[in-house]
Homo-oligomer: A and B are copies of this chain.
């Protein structure tokens, strides 16, 4: 019930997922107002017998305070779904709702993987290379501490290795220069910790390296990561506005811009972060995925696909093991 177009896009996305891999032993549960779900499903010719519907009565708004939800909204889709995940009733949870609420509820109800100080959320960025760059953290933890940066690197490496089937993704710290003498004390400390780790750590990179695809995983605190994510998201809309402005200057420019639009469409799509189909809350003891509020049915399907894949490739036990191995080194 969480997304901007809920429950319609969620139902349509769940149906796409059922069609794509329902025959591979994947069962889909829908948490929410059962009457509403049935009504919207009927309107869109979706047969709900392919799902298990779990009725909930509380509703979470985008403006709700995450810690309040834990106290007052125990019969919401978010609280009930993540409780069921914690109790092994389900294997993964997916939401296009309130990101902060999903992060907090996942952290409290699922608990942290042993050795993880702070759960984190990462985001993929398109690059000029064949693979995207993962930026970690993008807003879960704004404290700028070496230990957190170090753990983000460990968790980001595992997540990237599963998402892109790369054994040792390359990892770097986001900095204002490449030399190891650059940056804040926290970055310099994290640098020396990562040098001693098992990771394929290549050192520091700068802001430009994210889109250049210099490295697979770029590590930063959640303040800078969140600012970059939102800055990048605004680029697509800026580009569209500027093109409209150019088109309005003359008839010739209108034709030129009009002709270029189909060619640019692929580019705009890549700049549209929801296409990546959600991101897991990394570091919690369960697969909990949060997606863009504006998620389309395809984005919802991609989130479910990601959930299935992260379970198949054992995200949780792999994070537990890399943290354990590397805690001994630092």
Contacts from A to B (Cβ < 8 Å): 126-128, 139, 142-144, 174, 176, 183-184, 206-212, 220, 222-224, 226-235, 237-239, 241-243, 245-247, 253, 255-257, 259-260, 262-264, 266-267, 270
In the complex this chain forms, how many copies of it are found? 2
Contact of A223 (CB < 8 Å), options: B183, B234, B238: B183
Contact of A256 (CB < 8 Å), options: B208, B239, B262: B262
**Which B residues are CB-close (under 8 A) to A227?**
174, 176, 206-207, 220, 224, 228
Contact of A231 (CB < 8 Å), options: B208, B233, B243, B260: B208
**Which B residues are CB-close (under 8 A) to A144?**
144, 184
**Which B residues are CB-close (under 8 A) to A270?**
242
A208 to B232, CA, bound (A): 7
**Which B residues are CB-close (under 8 A) to A223?**
176, 183-184, 224
**Which B residues are CB-close (under 8 A) to A222?**
176
A91 CB to closest chain B CB (Å) equals: 31
Contact of A183 (CB < 8 Å), options: B142, B207, B212, B242: B142
The answer to whether A257 and B260 touch (CB under 8 A), given A142-B184, A207-B227, A267-B246, is yes
A209 to B227, CA, bound (A): 10
Smallest Cβ-Cβ distance to A212: which chain B residue: B234
- 20 A-B contacts (beta carbon < 8 Å): A126-B238, A144-B184, A176-B222, A184-B223, A207-B227, A207-B230, A207-B231, A208-B233, A209-B234, A210-B231, A210-B234, A211-B231, A223-B224, A228-B231, A242-B270, A253-B263, A255-B259, A256-B263, A260-B263, A260-B264
The answer to whether A211 and B229 touch (CB under 8 A), given A144-B144, A263-B243, is no
**Which B residues are CB-close (under 8 A) to A211?**
231, 234-235, 238
Contact of A263 (CB < 8 Å), options: B139, B238, B246: B246
Given contacts A128-B241, A243-B264, A246-B266, 9 further A-B contacts (CB under 8 A): A128-B245, A206-B230, A207-B232, A208-B233, A211-B234, A220-B227, A224-B224, A228-B231, A247-B263
Contact of A257 (CB < 8 Å), options: B126, B183, B263: B263
**Which B residues are CB-close (under 8 A) to A232?**
207, 231
A223 CB to closest chain B CB (Å) equals: 6
**Which B residues are CB-close (under 8 A) to A126?**
238
A267 to B144, CA, bound (A): 35
A115 to B124, CA, bound (A): 43
A255 to B256, CA, bound (A): 10
A246 to B233, CA, bound (A): 21
A237 to B128, CA, bound (A): 9
A142 to B139, CA, bound (A): 19
A304 to B246, CA, bound (A): 30
